[in-house]
Structure 1
Amino acid sequence: MIALRYFCGFFLQIFPYAFFCMFPFRDRFRGSRKRAVFIALSIFALMVIPFCTVAQLNVGGAYKETIWNIIFYIALLLFGVMYCLVVRAKIPEKLFIFFVVMSYGFFVTSSVTFLFRSFKFESDDFMYPPVALAITLGINLVLAKPFLMLMERIRVMIEIDLETRIWGILCSLPALFMLIASIAQFLTTIDIDRNVIVHMLFVLFAIFAFIVYGVFFGVMGYICRKKEEERVSERMLEGYRKQAENNEYILEAHHEIRHHMNALSAYLNEKDYMGAEEYIHKFADDAGQLPFVTYTANTLVNSILSEFSEKAKRCKVKVDYSIIIGSQLNMEDIDLCRMLNNILENAVEGCKKVSGERRFIRLNLHSKENFLFVKCENGCDEGSLRVANGKYRSTKRDISKHGYGLKIMGEIAEKYNGILSVQVHNGLFSVTTTLCLDEKNEE
């Protein structure tokens, strides 16, 4: 039974922390995941056998606890070496994860000590009393999911590839916590080792630290999502600008056709058929064979509408544009791009869920003085719409990567002192807003 106690204690003090250290880097192993697991289990088996044997045979007499600690710290050292070699990441990233996980370990240990001494459970001369093991297991099971959520947020930070300098700064928070906690723990071993209040303060201190972690990574996660949205929008806007340049070229080519026809007429009037044939071959590729529809003088809006017209045509969706705007709008190109792109993207997706005459999109863009009126209507299947907290959500499978369209449109409307209105009635999905395009808009 003593060997079993020490096996369980060794397992609970090693396995959860090893798992949490590796979790954020699960796709960054230098070898295969199976190989990493095999190495970890090999180290565990290599160290747990002497650890349990010494306890079972009571080897060492008065020095047995020292022997246990030596074996335990050797195991930690081997796992640390494995962690550094197997994981493919920056050293500050690995250090940060390590310090955070050690903070978690300190919290669990302090909580177990606090509960064990508060209720004054009986113990013997051996480590890992059964009650303490049960409490340790319970705390780990309760905290596993929230701590994994914290590790997942850290994983997001790792994926965006922050600068090494920033990771070094981030390491200071958990490292400082561990330093203060270690000093406090050392002081308690001098004369107040059994003071329950001190251990309770350790628990509260650890809770506070994890609240700081959670808030920090919540804010950083939001910033990362906003930056990613901006990067996607920038790439999209750049694509539309290039398309607008191509459209300008096509318009110029159409304009040049008239001059080419005049030149051909001159050749034919002179009965110079060979010259006319050579002229045709020379400029055939520049004649602009692809049709191009002009919806408005605004080249960016024209590019967006042209792309979605083709997309709607492929999906057998009828599109009706009513556009009355100038060639220039007092609105940032990226905001205009995101607004129209999300409106039309949602409309096309909504039309895919219906059939026949209900597959239609009506878009109105009207500008007057400093105001821009935007209204988009499309057929929809009301039964397939997902509503949560009074708001319409994405019905796509991966909700974490979708469902931001209306939110983005709402933020843009708010930026330009407008309110986004969404209505669904009789199979008609309608999005409406009026934007104030003056120089007082927030940046």
Structure 2
Amino acid sequence: MKRCFRWLFPALFLLAAAAMIWFLHLFVKVDRSMSLIDWTSAVRVLPDGAEEPVFFDSSSNTTDLSGTYRFTGTLPEGLGRGSLLFETTGVSLSLTLDGKDIWQSRADMPDGAVQMAQALIPLPGDASGELSLTCEILDSSMAILPPLVRFMPADLDTIETTAFANRGAFPAGAAALALILVFGIFLLGIARKQPDWSLIPLMLAMFGLIIFQLAQLEGSYFLAPGLAALLSRQEVGVCVFTLLLLYLVMNRKRRFWKYLGISASWSAAALLISYGVSCLLGGRLAAYLNELPRELQSGLYSGLFYWLTLWLSFVCAVISAYSVLSAYIHQETRTQRLLLKNHMVTESYRQLKERSAKSARERHEIRHQLTALSCLCQKKDYQAAEALLEKLIQDYAAKSPLTFTPNLTVNTILQSAAEKARQKGIRFRASARIPEELSVPEADLCTLLLNLLDNALEGADRTPVSGNRFLSIHIKLVDCYLAIKCENSFDGYLKKGPKGELLTVKEDTLSHGFGCRQMEEIAKKYQSVMLYQIPRDGVFLAETALLLPESQST
């Protein structure tokens, strides 16, 4: 299952990235374009009104033409809203659609004019039908025959301008977000007193990518001409690539290059799949990649260079973020374990002090008892001496610690829990049918049992004094498993997280709440889980079964 997730999550990430790129691509392409109206027939209108068919191979300025001509074509359906655009200089024009006049004009070429006059005729929505254009040549040196009539979709200029702006803004915006991410990572490292100085060239490279892309595509509109020309130079792209190389040199860790290789492999696979899909659909990606070798041979490498640099910047940013996050989680986990270990050491020290004080009191009491016994013997009051000696034996038997199991580690933990339960007025029962030696390492066994018993004691201690305050634990070997079952009374209140996991009920959640996670990690390590139940009102049950290490290898 882990191996499946190991491949599934990167695949889902690439799928999400491809979906986002596809979505953004919708805003950088223009599906609508200018279309030329084809003339299906052309006639010359004679002075008497008769029509003489004529043929034109192509549109041109032919100086020997004169007279009146009529061209007929079809305005296809489904063009949508738009306008007809054509040149009008040197001719007198009349345009009809399905026999209805929609436009008339006469345009002579003014003296000193450079460009030809044009007509832009708005059409009603979904207009279609037979289009007829009658033109009288006024100046054969300027008239274009047949007239080039184009259909211009509505708002085409605005759409093309927006698409062009988006084409430059989207990559620049993505680089800006990555720059902010890396800057945040850099500040986090400084706050943790572990700054990653290699992020400085990476941030500079990303900033260079932003200004280089925007300056090339839109710098002439918003920047001073000199500044736009400076930022658009190819040397800026070379500097960006050099900064990325410096970042790579400063990150010579094997783990970084491993992640970089994995990212490159996944990206290459995604590009190959996208290329195949683009080939099947006739997309622009396939056309671009097919033309790429010719562009490289011609020295046109700036586009490929930019996209490779942008990809490398993003990958480095993601790897840096992942590394910092992993280090942070590792440090937090280590801190939690140190806090738990410190708690255990403090608790052990407290118990040792209590036992030392108790032993001192008992020694002092025994000294008095022995003095009294010596006096009775000197007086030859053997009956009183025998009674005192019997009392000493009974007191020693009552104060001797219980022995739950021959396993020294488990027995010590159970004795400590029994003493805590006695001090809190909690009825304690324990059964541990295990051998003197176990294959489970003592560190794991101590962590599991100490957390389990501490939680059980806290739960039982929250039970009202008038209630049945108890703690019961049973440990035994069942085949190749170490079965542990712990029951305790509690007040019925449990705090759970969004995934159903148990949370600490203490106010200081940062310093507490690690016990359950520690137990679950150990149970998982030995092919098991921690099972929590409420078998009856006021009773909490926690149990697990650890697979012994020698059984895991068979």
Scaled by the length of structure 1, what TM-score is found?
0.50
Q: Choose between structure 1 and 2 for higher RCO, CA contacts under 8 A separated by at least 6 residues.
A: 1
Rg comparison, structure with higher value: 2
Higher strand proportion, which one?
2
